[in-house]
Amino acid sequence: MSRDPIVVCLHHPKDPDVGLVAERASASRRPLDLRVLPFKESVKLRRARQAPPVPAELLAEAPAPSAELLDGWNAAEVLFTLDLPAERLDDMPNLKWVQAYSAGLEQYPLEELGRRGIRLTNAAGAGAPAIAEFVFGRLIEVCRNLRSIEAMQSARDFHRPGGRTLSGKTLGIVGLGAIGSAVARLGRAFEMKTLATRRSARFGATSPDVDVLSGPEGLGRLLSDSDVVVLCAPATPETEGLIGAEALAGMKKGAVLCNVARGALVDEEALVASLAAEHLGAAILDVTREEPLPQDSILWDAPNLYLSPHSSIPPDAYDARLFALFAENLVRYAEGEPLVNEISLP
């Protein structure tokens, strides 16, 4: 087994906790050469990489690598990054493994990584507890009319705002991965009945985190039976527009829809129409199809819509969990063991 240092380039965040990574990965048989080399593309360019080819004018705006960054790329065996420009892979001749900063992989050149034999792991699960907290914070805000209570205080007009409890209601989770499971466990704590779908679930499948588990074919039943529906599924060709006019019409009148997955899962025009018709009681969107959300978007003024700017995860909690996972994988990598969250590439 090689004893040469593992050269690791850390691109994002700008000031990573190198000490945590070094301490947690101290059991590695190979020494680590950790290089903090910040690299981050614009949101616009990152979005464009999700639907190649990228327009030439956007590529022209890509950050130019410094000599130090090019030297790091040339030596890197491992990359920890939010962005990975396909056109720069030739500058990384020794690259063997990429740790994605995100759970979603839409901006990464998956086919090219597969062709070059470069391994890829994602951040699935790193943000799960924080996202679940966010979901229930918003649900309490919606169901207990906290906006009305704030308005009452501002108006100095004391009255009871009404509302409803979560206890005893049915929680439907579309996508029972790490995030969906964390949401389900909190749902149980609120004494909710929990239903879920999972892409890989087959007839008769069960999970300790939910009362009823089904495959994608169970979506219609989940929507019709749930008082709250939380979207936690990845963005794939199969989930594009998953919640459209037909799906929304199949939901309970007055139900709440919460999307902490990807904006592509929801037909936003159909969602606004359902809210305006008062079929859907409320919608919570931490993600939208276009981010940042344009000022002229129809979402801003939709009734009973609770928007947030893709901010369900506080960076401190997310980074600590992800660096711990990355350090564990560095030890596994040095030992030749399977990596946690490794993606099967085309």
Mark the ranges of the chain whose per-residue pLDDT is less than 70: 1-2
Q: Which residues of 257-274 are buried (b: 16+ CB within 10 A; e: fewer)?
A: bbbbbbbbbbbbebbbbb
Give the end-to-end CA distance of the chain in Å, rounded to a whole number: 28
Main-chain dihedrals φ then ψ at residue 187, nearest 5 degrees: -60, -40
| pLDDT reported for residue 184 | 98
HSE-CB at 334 with a 13 A cutoff on CA atoms is 20
The enclosing H or E element of 131 equals helix 128-143
Q: Catalytic residue at 310? A: yes
Catalytic residue, chosen from 291, 328, 332, 342, is: 291
Query: Is the Cβ–Cβ distance between 230 and 171 less than 8 Å?
Result: yes
Q: Is the peptide bond before 53 cis (omega within 30 degrees of 0)?
A: yes
Residue 262 annotated among the catalytic residues of the structure: yes
Integer-rounded Cα Rg, in Å, for the chain is 22
Question: Could you say which of 310, 328, 332, 342 is catalytic?
Answer: 310
Distance (Å, rounded) from C-alpha 91 to C-alpha 73?
6
pTM of the model: 0.87
Phi-psi region of 263 (alpha: psi -120 to 50; beta: other; left: phi over 0): alpha
What span, in angstroms and rounded, lies between the C-alpha atoms of 218 and 33?
A: 48
Distance CA(24)–CA(40), nearest Å, equals 25
- Alpha-carbon distance of 200 to 176, in angstroms, equals 10
Angular region, 241: left φ>0, alpha ψ -120 to 50, beta rest: left
Residue among 107, 346, 125 at smallest CA distance from 232? 125
Encoded amino acid at 180, one letter: G
Instruction: Indicate the burial class of 203 (C-beta count within 10 angstroms; 0-12, 13-18, 19 or more).
Output: exposed
pLDDT digits (tens, 9 = 90+) for 152-166: 999 999 888 889 999
Do 128-307 and 6-124+315-335 fall under one CATH topology? yes
Architecture per CATH, 6-124+315-335 = 3-Layer(aba) Sandwich (3.40)
Beta bridge partners of 212: 195
**Domain regions of the chain by residue span:** 6-124+315-335, 128-307
128-307 is a CATH 3.40.50.300 domain? no
Q: Is residue 188 among the annotated active site residues?
A: no
Residue 78 has phi, psi (to 5 degrees) of: -135, 140
Token pair recorded at residue 52: 């190649």
Q: Which is the catalytic residue, given 35, 138, 262, 321? A: 262
